[in-house]
Amino acid sequence: MSASTLSEVNERVKEASSWVPLLRAEIAKVIVGQQYLVDRLIVGILANGHVLLEGVPGLAKTLSVRTLASAVQAQFSRIQFTPDLLPADIVGTLIYNPQKAEFFTKKGPIFANIVLADEINRAPAKVQSALLEAMQERQVTLGDETHLLPAPFLVLATENPIDQEGTYPLPEAQVDRFMLKLKIGYPTREEERRILDNMASTAPKFSVEPVINPTDILAARAVVDQIYIDDKVKDYVVDLVFATRRPSDFGLNIDNFVQFGASPRATIALTLAAKAWAFLQGRGYVTPQDIKTIGVDVLRHRVIPSYEAEAEDFTSEQLVAKIFDTVPVP
């Protein structure tokens, strides 16, 4: 790419990202700290990727998603996942009308721009499978009819750690459909003090104004697609994903610790997420550091540790960190 073309892309990025600080400021009215979480939720919106948030109860996961949805002038729905939830409760169903002697479609809450799947791992696998088509194809099949979901369509899901009471592990096929998996930690002492000031009321007031609409998001995505990524950086992405499958090819002696590596979907997700991250920084090109910054969130749920790794207390995050430390940076 020539220098003049790159400067044009840079200008387009600066213009198209003018709403980002406004959105951050609007979310900050309600959410104290959690910059890591907020930035990656915006990456999900920009890169057209679903986001999974994991953390113990009470860390404002649900509140963050609700606040984001309020700041985006879009259709929002919330699904509370429970052990007795049915697939029809999510995607909808066909209902028979005896007067007309025909079936009509009753659409479920999945038909929205932003869908909050709250405590997603508290429902069994048959319910999770109802989400697969919606998340990957952006459509739902009811009976013999296929219904397209509105654009943009984003699933933002929260889950409790798997060792919490009443949780089910999510199927690998579904987890792979999340572009990012975020691990949410406790706030700092200063942040918790500010949370106390803001929230310690019997009726805390949240006034969030919409600052963008679906048209702005789709326009920003068109600019994200134009962001330049050099061939060397593309090769770096492919090397990272290949290193999750065959670490020994890159000099890592951890093959027996990896049960499954990342799929080609991870290669696409890492590239798109890095472009969205560059957009957030106001840049028209991707650097290797962008890949490193967002890479752990893209790969942590796609690298499945073996039983041997679990016996040695090796987590998927530690495996991914080793890969990032070893694969040569261009």
Confidence of residue 298 (pLDDT cuts 50, 70, 90): very high
Sequence-ordered alpha helix ranges (H) in 72-227: 88-91, 125-137, 172-175, 189-199, 214-226
- What does the DSSP 8-state code read for residue 101? T
Q: What is the pLDDT of residue 93?
A: 84
Q: Do 48 and 210 meet the contact criterion of CB atoms below 8 Å apart?
A: no
Measure Cα distances from 39 to 28, 48, 66, 95, 257 in Å: 12, 14, 15, 41, 31
pLDDT higher than threshold 70 for residue 164: no
For the chain, the residue count is 330
Sequence-distant (6+) residues with CB within 8 A of 32 are 187, 191, 194, 195, 198
Most confidently modeled of 133-147, 259-273, 309-323?
Answer: 259-273
pLDDT higher than threshold 70 for residue 22: yes
pLDDT higher than threshold 80 for residue 200: no
Q: What is the pLDDT of residue 3?
A: 61
Nearest to 269 by CA among 79, 52, 117, 11: 52
pLDDT higher than threshold 90 for residue 125: no
Q: What is the per-residue pLDDT across 241-254, written as a single tens digit (0 to 9) for each?
A: 998 888 888 777 77
% of residues, the chain, pLDDT over 70: 97
Which of 91-95, 131-135, 175-179, 253-257 bottoms out in mean pLDDT, i.e. has the lowest? 253-257
Confidence of residue 4 (pLDDT cuts 50, 70, 90): low
For domain 227-326, which CATH number applies: 1.20.120.50, 1.10.3470.10, 1.10.8.80, 3.40.47.10?
Answer: 1.10.8.80
Sequence-ordered alpha helix ranges (H) in 138-188: 172-175
Tokens 């430390």 map to which residue?
Answer: 325
For domain 34-200+210-218, which CATH number applies: 3.40.50.720, 3.30.360.10, 3.40.50.300, 3.10.129.10?
Answer: 3.40.50.300
Phi-psi region of 166 (alpha: psi -120 to 50; beta: other; left: phi over 0): left
- Neighbouring-strand partners of residue 50: 178
- The mean predicted confidence, pLDDT, of the chain is 85
| Over residues 7-29, mean pLDDT | 84
